[in-house]
Amino acid sequence: MHRFYLPPENCRTNVLRLDGREAHHGLHVLRLQRGETVTVLDGAGHRYLGEVQDAGKNSIALAVQEKTFTPPPACPITLLVAIPKGKIIEDIIQKAVELGTHRIIPLLSERVVTHLDADGAENKREKWQQVAVEAIKQCGAAWLPRVETPVTIPHFLARQEAFDLPLVGSLQTERRHPHEWLREFQTRHGRSPHNAAIWIGPEGDFTPGELSAIEAAGARPITLGPLTLRVETAAVYCLSFLNYELALP
């Protein structure tokens, strides 16, 4: 079944209207006709089964036939990832969506070649958020991850955000398997983490200074095995582990 996205504020009536990008796809690519049934995702846990009521020139009206809700994951996962070269970040965002990530924070680390001013950073964020939208439509995820504006590591750390289980992939310091950190947390607190974060550095890893600051903020260094992984591989590796251990019911 074809899937579309509408933000929650546009899903408050029994007739949903697709316009803009979504209508163009439905009208000119899928060529939807009156009476066909599609799914609409609002990115906030709701799925709507809608029947095409009217397919106009620039919009599609859908009569809601059924509405379901998927609860959020018990442990939201935040991915903090250094921006790699080219469009690799788009692949990372797509895979992060498929693996149930709650939030994606692109990092401007010292070894990242990308330099952005305020306008450029916001333009990138909007583009990458749309990548996440397309990804939930492809995989059927009920929750849309928030892609934040690229930020430097010092600026993010200055927010002093707290995570139950913050992990950082590292090639430099004494490291442990993420499973060990998880079991240690569960033993100490008698429960699973309520939220988690994973830091993934650029090609060549975080600088020693960056890694020191990240660990000083509470992140536990983890090993990803004996091989040096690409940024996108490291992200999928870590998110797969956290999704299996923490996010799946």
Residues 30 and 82 in one domain: no
Identify the domain boundary among 21, 42, 69.
69
pTM (2 d.p.): 0.92
Token pair belonging to 131: 């990548």
What pLDDT was estimated at residue 249?
A: 56
Amino acid in position 204: G
Considering 11, 46, 69, which residue would you say is the last residue of a domain? 69
Q: What angle do CA 139, 142, 143 make, to 5 degrees?
A: 105
Same domain, 60 and 92: no
Which residue among 69, 92, 108 closes a domain?
69
Q: Are residues 21 and 115 in the same domain?
A: no
Same domain, 63 and 102: no
For residues 56 and 136, membership in a common domain is answered with no
Q: How far is residue 39's CA from residue 102's CA, in Å, rounded to a whole number? A: 22
Residue 240 belongs to domain with CATH number: 3.40.1280.10
Q: What is the DSSP string of 41-81?
A: E-SBSEEEEEEEEEE-SS-EEEEEEEEEE-PPPSS-EEEEE
**CATH number reported for the structural domain that contains residue 35 in this entry:** 2.40.240.20
Do 57 and 177 belong together in one domain? no
| Contact between 22 and 6 (Cβ < 8 Å) | yes
pLDDT for res 37: 95
Give the strand pairing for 46-55 and 37-41. antiparallel
pLDDT at 116: 74
Mode of pairing for the β-strands spanning 77-82 and 46-55: unpaired
CA atoms within 13 A on the CB side of 137: 17
Q: Which residues of 46-76 are buried (b: 16+ CB within 10 A; e: fewer)?
A: bbbbbebeebeeebbbbebeeeeeeeebebb
State whether 48 and 155 are in the same domain. Answer: no
pLDDT tens for the 249 residues of the chain, in order: 899 999 999 999 999 999 999 999 999 999 999 999 999 999 999 999 999 999 888 899 999 999 999 999 999 999 999 999 889 999 999 999 999 999 999 999 988 766 777 778 889 999 999 999 999 999 999 999 999 999 999 999 999 999 999 999 988 767 899 999 999 999 999 999 999 999 999 988 899 999 999 999 999 999 988 888 899 999 999 999 999 998 765
Do 165 and 238 share a domain, yes or no?
yes
Same domain for 96 and 140, yes or no, is yes
Instruction: Let me know whether 113 and 214 are in one domain.
Output: yes
Single-letter code of the amino acid located at 173: T
pLDDT reported for residue 248: 64
Alpha helices in the chain (DSSP H): 20-24, 88-98, 118-139, 153-157, 178-189, 208-216, 231-242
3-state secondary structure of 91: helix
Residue 236: domain span: 77-247
State how many domains the chain has: 2
| Residue 113 sits in the same domain as residue 236 | yes
CA gap 25, 60 in Å, rounded: 10
Are residue 85 and residue 198 in the same domain, yes or no? yes
